Structure 1
Amino acid sequence: MNLEALREATRAQMPEKRWTHTLGVVDTALELTSRFGGDPAKAELAALLHDYAKAWPILRQEQVIREQGLPKELLDYGKELWHAHVGAWVVRHEHGIEDEEVLNAIRYHTSGRENMTHLEKIVCLADYIEPGRDYPGVHKIRQLAEHNLDEALTAGLDSTIGLLLERGECIFPLTVLARNDLIRRRKQKE
């Protein structure tokens, strides 16, 4: 399937506001790739598809998780995580996307993980800072993203963890592992 057909298929999955967000993530991912290096074609594809299943009903997402052997522990955490794994599964099986790097960038854009690839970092950070995002601390994360991908992503993960702590919600373990991994790596470089 060509990029234009994927664009139309993705747009059909979501309301206009989510589509505007998706386009912002695509533009931001391309900007970050230009700044920090990486494959712009993969960044564009992963960013375009990152929220493919976001607007799906929760019961439909849960059904995919249960029936397709996706990690069951997702069901023990916030529903906001589910669409990433579901979306990666769907774009592989319904649209023939086989590139594991692209699929992992979709799969881990909400949680992060240890040993994130450059593309995973780009898509995750682009999702945090696209121009339509407005939450406490986003301006600081955008400023960090001008100069340091890992520091900006760490700040993004910190904002997620802080919000979940504020709400008294569980924190998905991969998010904590991703944050700690980024900090460890930064300290090793010092």
Structure 2
Amino acid sequence: MNIHQMEEKLKSVLSERRFNHSIGVMETAVKMAETFGCDVEKARLAGLLHDCAKEIDKDEAVRLLDEMGIEIDDEKRIQKGLLHADLGAELMIKEYGICDKEIYDAVKCHTMGRCGMTELDKILYLADFIEPTRREFDGLDELRSLCFCNLDEAMLFAINLSISFVLGKGKVLHKQTIETREYFTKLIEGRKAVL
């Protein structure tokens, strides 16, 4: 399946708003990949397909993940917004024929991050935050600037924004988000200590 066929398939399963968001993430991920010397084609595919499971009903998502034998913890089972990354990574293989481990990992961690994120992981996570159709929020302009200067500092900034948003909505933070924040905090502090 070529990228145009993937776009057409995606159009058939996503709302117009979500599809436009996916195109925006794809285009932003490509620009970031060019800036940081990352594989542009992998960034393009990860950006396009990252939300391919976003609009699948929560119960259906849980059923599909269980059927595929993919373990999901209780926190993810409760919060629909966390399921689509795991399911999307699996559907990317099954429905779109993308079997690249780097792309799979980037899609799988694009909602909560992870320790030891690759450049592609960071690019997708951040492109999802800053793409042009994203609603305005406090810190967006600063984050957009950081994303083209320093990926690690941009990650920490974005994770902190995400934590504030989640807590502000009265939701529970997933432990993986906290671990990701701790990872980037230590990474950046470690670099500053060397200077």
Identity of aligned residues (%): 35
Aligned to 1:169: 171
1:57 maps to what in 2? 57
Separation in 2, partners of 1:102, 1:136? 30
- Rounded Cα–Cα distance in structure 1 between residues aligned with 2:175 and 2:63: 22
Which digits, 9 at most, give the CA deviation of each residue in 1:112-152, with x for residues without a partner?
A: 01111110000000001101112222122112123111111
CA contact (8 A) 1:91 1:97 kept: yes
Listed one character per residue, the Cα deviations across residues 19-75 of structure 1 (whole Å, up to 9, x for unaligned) are: 111111011101111112200000000101000011112221121122222232153
Is residue 106–residue 120 contact of structure 2 (8 Å, CA) maintained in 1? Answer: yes
Aligned equivalent of 2:29: 29
Contact 2:77 2:83 (C-alpha < 8 Å) held by counterparts = no
Runs of 4+ in 1 over 3 A off after TM superposition: 74-77
Where structure 1 has 5 or more consecutive residues not aligned to the other structure, the ranges are none
Please show how residues 31-110 of structure 1 align to structure 2 within 5 Å.
Answer: 31-73=31-73, 74-110=75-111
Pairs within 5 Å for 1:94-133: 94-133=95-134
- Aligned with 2:13: secondary structure? coil
Contact 1:62 1:75 (C-alpha < 8 Å) held by counterparts: no
Equivalence for 1:15: 15
Q: List runs of 5+ in structure 2 lacking aligned partners.
A: none
Q: What code does the residue aligned with 2:96 have?
A: H
Q: Which TM-score applies when normalising by structure 2?
A: 0.92
How far is 1:90 from its partner?
1.0
What's the C-alpha RMSD, in Å, of the aligned pairs?
1.4
Q: 8 Å contact 2:62–2:77 — kept in the other structure?
A: no
- Displacement of 1:95 in angstroms is 2.4
> What amino acid maps onto 1:36 in structure 2?
F
Alignment check: 8 A CA contact 1:58 1:79 kept: yes
Q: Is the 1:144–1:151 Cα contact (8 Å) retained in structure 2?
A: yes
In structure 1, the partner of 2:139 is 137
Secondary structure (helix, strand or coil) at the match of 2:83 reads helix
Larger mean CA deviation between 134-143 and 70-79 belongs to: 70-79
* Separation in 1, partners of 2:148, 2:103: 24
- TM-score, length-scaled by structure 1: 0.94
